[in-house]
Amino acid sequence: MPDLALLALLVFAAALLYSSVGHGGASGYLAAMGLVGVAAAVMKPTALALNVLVAGVGSVQFLRTGAFSWPVFWPFALGSVPLAFAGGAVTLPSPVYKQVVGAVLLYAAWRLLSHGVRPGAATHPPPVSAALGVGAAIGLLSGLVGVGGGIFLSPLLLFMGWAGMRETAGVSALFILVNSVAGLAGHLASLSLLPRETPVLAASAFAGGLIGATLGARRLSMPALRRLLGVVLVVAGVKMLLGR
């Protein structure tokens, strides 16, 4: 794999930042792999595998602090998991996959570089029917691209007042975990495409995820790292859209 040291560093940074807000970091891993020229066929299973690892660490850390809401989590997960499984079974043509990933990365960059959402003080669980439908849409996109869906779910929960900041982090972590597992299960054969350097990337992701989730539980922010990763996502997104 080209530029393994650079890729491992970028994976570590992505895991550190994303896990601090309950995310698995798949969009960051996809951006890193796109920047160093990893083959499109390898990107999806690798991002999902790293996502499972980091989202698992984040889920444990946030659940320990009580930052979780079952009434918010279950309808989104119920709608998303079957569709994430179905999406994982679909292999998009490489040019199409790159276009979709490029769009997702630019959206993720916008989320990172924006000032964020300011949720109201009062929150309420989402309507079950709406959560099931939204979860299904997020799950399908997650399985197709190789992300956990947290970058789509988190802002929605905050905008709609369905969860506070801490609950959003915990719900997102577990949501990403179950979606990533479902996406991998939908296409188990893709695991054979994992590169031999996966243990190195997994170690980097685990270290970053553990540090980030711990910092996130203590409500520490990392604005400089957020901006830096946002720039990386923009560059990678544009590169993918241009098919390079």
Number of neighbours of residue 94 by Cβ within 10 angstroms: 13
pLDDT of residue 169: 85
* Predicted pLDDT of residue 216: 74
For residues 209 and 58, the answer to whether their CB atoms sit within 8 Å is yes
Q: What pLDDT does residue 116 have?
A: 52
Enter the tokens of residue 69: 């809401």
**Residue 24 and residue 169 in contact, taking contact as beta carbons nearer than 8 Å:** no
What pLDDT sits at residue 218? Answer: 64
pLDDT in tens, 57-105: 989 888 888 889 999 999 999 999 999 999 999 999 999 999 999 999 9
For residue 145, the model assigns a pLDDT of 93
Both tokens of residue 203? 């170690």
What pTM was estimated for this model as a whole?
A: 0.88
Which has more confidence, 17 or 53?
53
What pLDDT was estimated at residue 119?
47
Residues 6+ away with beta carbon under 8 Å from 106: 233, 234, 237, 238, 241
Mean pLDDT computed over every residue of the chain: 88
The mean pLDDT of 141-156, rounded to a whole number, is 91
Residue-level pLDDT at 85: 96
- Three-state SS for the chain is CCCHHHHHHHHHHHHHHHHCCCCCCHHHHHHHHHHHCCCHHHHHHHHHHHHHHHHHHHHHHHHHCCCCCHHHHHHHHHHHHHHHHHHHCCCCCHHHHHHHHHHHHHHHHHHHHCCCCCCCCCCCCCCHHHHHHHHHHHHHHHHHHCCCCHHHHHHHHHHCCCCCHHHHHHHHHHHHHHHHHHHHHHCHHHHHHCCCCHHHHHHHHHHHHHHHHHHHHCCCCCHHHHHHHHHHHHHHHHHHHCCC
Residue with tokens 């994303």: 18
Angstrom distance (rounded) from CA 187 to CA 23: 22
pLDDT at 227: 74
